[in-house]
C-alpha cells in the first residue's frame, strides 16, 4: 500500500460520505463523526511516526483509521441513533460496508485483511490473539487513535454544554454523585470496566482514566495523552463531581503509567 492508495481510498470514502449530504451539508451528528474521523487519522499518523512504523504498516494503519467508523452514517440514517445496543454493532457494520464497497480491492490480500480486521476489532474489549504483525499494528493504532480523540470529545462536551444543570449533556447520569466502588476496583486492578456499572458521571470519566492506566497500547499514545493534558483535565473535572480520595489515587496511577509527566501537576 502506497501514499497513492491512501489518496484513492480517501477519495472513495469522501464520495461515499457525500451521499449523506443534503443541500451540500451533512446532518450535524454525521458532521461530528466526519470530524472525529479526521482526528483519528491524524492521531494514527502521529502514532505511526512516534513508533517508527515502516511505510506499509503506517499506510495500512492510516487507512484503517480513516475507515473505522464508516458505518456511522448509515447507522444514523437507518436507525436514528449511534447507540449500538439499539441498532447494530457499528464496527461490524463498518467492516461490511468497506468490504462491500470494494474500496480495498486494489490492495494486496494481506493489506486488505489487515484493514478490515482493524475496523472490525476497533470497539472490542480486547484484540484477539494470534494476529499477524501488520493487523496487530493497525488494530492497536486505530484503538489508541480513537481513544485519543474520545478524550477530546469529552472535554469539548464539558466546555460547550450546561452539564451542571442539564443532565442530558451526559446521558442523564447523576452529575454530583460518588463513583461506583465496582468501577474503582476494576480500574485499580487493571480490569476492563463493565459498562453496566456506570451509574454516575464520575464513573464515566473514570473509565477514561482507566484507559490511561491500562488501555493505551503504544508509548506514543501515552506520551500524546500526557502532552495534551487529558489526565489533568479529568482530575480537575472529577473534583467538581465528587469527593472520593480513590479518584486521586487512580489519577496518580494513571500519571505513573503515562510516564510521570503529569504526576507533579496536582492542583
Footprint on this chain of Fe ion (rule: CB under 5 A): 69
Distance in Å, CB of 28 to Fe ion, minimum = 18
Distance in Å, CB of 142 to Fe ion, minimum = 9
Distance in Å, CB of 82 to Fe ion, minimum = 9
Distance in Å, CB of 83 to Fe ion, minimum = 12
CB 93 within 8 A of CB 116: no
CB 130 within 8 A of CB 107: no
CB 62 within 8 A of CB 71: no
Which residue, 69 or 74, has its beta carbon nearer to Fe ion? 69
Residue nearest to Fe ion (CB): 69
Distance in Å, CB of 260 to Fe ion, minimum = 31
Distance in Å, CB of 58 to Fe ion, minimum = 21
* C-alpha distance from residue 174 to each of 132, 204, 249 (Å): 43, 11, 22
Alpha helices (H) in 51-196, listed in sequence order: 55-67, 72-79, 90-101, 109-120, 133-160, 181-188
Which residue, 134 or 145, has its beta carbon nearer to Fe ion? 145
The grid coordinates listed for 212 are 490511561
- Report the alpha-carbon distance of residue 213 to residue 189 in Å, rounded: 10
- Report the alpha-carbon distance of residue 175 to residue 180 in Å, rounded: 13
Which residue, 57 or 94, has its beta carbon nearer to Fe ion? 94
- Report the alpha-carbon distance of residue 120 to residue 127 in Å, rounded: 10
What is the full DSSP assignment across 46-57? HHHHHTT--HHH
Which residue, 150 or 177, has its beta carbon nearer to Fe ion? 150
Which residue, 39 or 262, has its beta carbon nearer to Fe ion? 39
- Report the alpha-carbon distance of residue 234 to residue 236 in Å, rounded: 5
Distance in Å, CB of 264 to Fe ion, minimum = 34
- Report the alpha-carbon distance of residue 25 to residue 148 in Å, rounded: 26
CB 173 within 8 A of CB 183: no
Which residue, 69 or 203, has its beta carbon nearer to Fe ion? 69
Which residue, 89 or 232, has its beta carbon nearer to Fe ion? 89
Residue listed under C-alpha cell 489533568: 232
Amino acid at each position: 500500500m502506497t501514499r497513492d492508495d491512501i489518496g484513492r481510498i480517501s477519495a472513495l470514502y469522501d464520495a461515499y460520505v457525500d451521499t449523506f449530504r443534503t443541500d451540500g451539508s451533512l446532518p450535524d451528528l454525521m458532521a461530528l463523526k466526519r470530524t472525529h474521523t479526521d482526528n483519528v487519522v491524524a492521531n494514527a499518523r502521529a502514532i505511526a511516526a512516534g513508533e517508527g512504523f515502516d511505510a506499509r504498516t503506517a499506510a495500512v494503519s492510516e487507512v484503517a483509521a480513516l475507515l473505522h467508523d464508516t458505518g456511522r452514517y448509515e447507522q444514523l440514517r437507518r436507525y436514528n441513533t449511534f447507540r449500538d445496543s439499539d441498532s447494530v454493532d457499528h464496527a461490524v457494520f463498518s467492516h461490511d460496508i468497506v468490504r462491500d464497497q470494494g474500496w480495498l480491492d486494489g490492495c494486496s490480500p494481506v493489506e486488505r485483511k489487515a484493514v478490515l480486521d482493524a475496523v472490525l476489532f476497533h470497539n472490542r474489549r480486547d484484540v484477539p490473539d494470534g494476529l499477524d504483525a501488520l493487523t496487530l499494528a493497525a488494530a492497536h493504532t486505530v484503538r489508541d487513535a480513537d481513544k485519543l480523540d474520545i478524550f477530546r470529545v469529552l472535554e469539548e462536551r464539558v466546555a460547550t454544554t450546561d452539564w451542571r444543570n442539564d443532565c442530558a449533556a451526559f446521558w442523564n447520569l447523576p452529575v454530583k454523585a460518588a463513583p461506583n466502588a465496582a468501577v474503582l476496583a476494576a480500574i485499580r486492578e487493571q480490569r476492563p470496566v463493565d459498562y453496566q456499572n456506570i451509574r454516575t458521571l464520575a464513573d464515566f470519566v473514570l473509565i477514561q482514566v482507566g484507559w490511561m492506566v491500562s488501555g493505551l497500547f503504544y508509548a506514543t499514545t501515552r506520551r500524546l495523552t500526557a502532552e495534551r493534558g487529558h489526565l489533568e483535565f479529568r482530575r480537575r473535572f472529577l473534583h467538581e463531581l465528587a469527593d472520593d480520595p480513590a479518584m486521586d489515587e487512580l489519577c496518580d496511577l494513571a500519571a505513573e503509567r503515562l510516564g510521570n509527566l503529569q504526576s507533579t501537576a496536582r492542583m
